[in-house]
Chains A and B, each alone.
Chain A
Amino acid sequence: MAKRILLAEDEEVLRMLIVDTLEDEGYEIDEACDGEEALEKIMQREYDLVLLDYMMPGMTGLDVTEKVRLMPEKAGLRILMLTAKSQKSDQDLARQIGVNYFMAKPFSPLDLLDLVDRILSEDR
């Protein structure tokens, strides 16, 4: 069965880039335009992975992560954050809050695909 991924990214173009890249490889992608929409979708469906942009209007990716980590039933949900903040201290904080993986912006879609493949193949 195809893996289902939620993508939260406010920039439409980037959304398209990621969706195209991942869908070509057989992943099922749901899209969210901002943090609130992402949170709604996470609560409605089971995802194998959530890709969160850090800088979004309203709730940031980190805010979403914090909320998700408060839900016990979503404890195992893996979160990959797309962020321009590449400093270690920022990443440490994000990790503490509950982010599992990072992808630095600007990113290569193929690298992202690679990372997603690796994360989701851990299951087998």
Chain B
Amino acid sequence: MSTIAEKPKSTAKDFSSDQEIRWCPGCGDYSILKQVQTILPEIGVERQNVVFISGIGCSSRFPYYMNTYGMHSIHGRAPAFASGLKISNPDLSVWVITGDGDALSIGGNHLIHLLRRNFNLNILLFNNEIYGLTKGQYSPTSPEGKVTKSTPMGSIDHPFNPLALAAGADGTFIARAMDRDPVQLRDVLREASEHKGTSLVEIYQNCNVFNDGAFEVFTDKHTKANTTIFVEHGKPMVFGENQNLGLRLDGATPVVVDLEVGEYAVDDLWVHDKTDRFKAGILMRCFETPGADGQGIPRPFGVFYRENRACYEDLLHNQIKTAYERKGEGDLDALLRGNNTWTIE
């Protein structure tokens, strides 16, 4: 007689490596690391089947702190490493860790190709709107006019809207979260991990050394309620200090309405549908920065868009399977022989 002991469930601690974490004290990366370590046991993956692949930058040190398989690769190329890895072993849970410079500047090309191919993996794009590791130059997401070490007269670069870019590359899962809202971040990460396809999660992350407060208007408890909206599938877009504000669509234009005035009720509001590519696009384009007093369109967070589309690695392995079915397992002698031979005796 034998008893099968139930395997102890892993915990966040099991996913934490023995390496000392060397991000600056107060960096937003700590929160993201913690939320990732928290959700991994919840989603039921085992450490040995998880691979974190990063590029270069502050955020890209992430894999060293995870007690899983990991690769700290080269600047901008993590999506390409991940593509080869995923083709080689589609069963692995693969997480690409990247930043705004890594993913959108030096690695922009790989990001868009990863999205269109739709490998089943997750991209966590830590956006702090600055180059941190190189000590404070503007990034491709820095706002116009941003004064940095390399732009003493203000940046003249028009910034990327990462989510709109991902949509343009036909990304199948597009979401935004922030380091200072761990609950929402965990929700988004969980859903990203469940999505079969490439999940892009942009995470607003505060660089308290070189760009402190870049997202303060969205994260500060005094302004957050009026400047942000967390969208949920099937729910009307309500926000505000007392859930007193809402978003409705006037044609294709989002409009903020005050629910307390009596002109509009919750039933009149825009109901979020993450399967609606067109409306998700409108949501992604809500990109102006609202005033702290709640004037203007709030910055949306949550899962904007999700669609099911075949994954590259599945299509590739289907072709391999078909080749085996049609031709049988490769016979090396037949390959060496080819079609036309002659014999000299």
A, B co-complexed: no
A: residues with CB less than 8 A from B are none
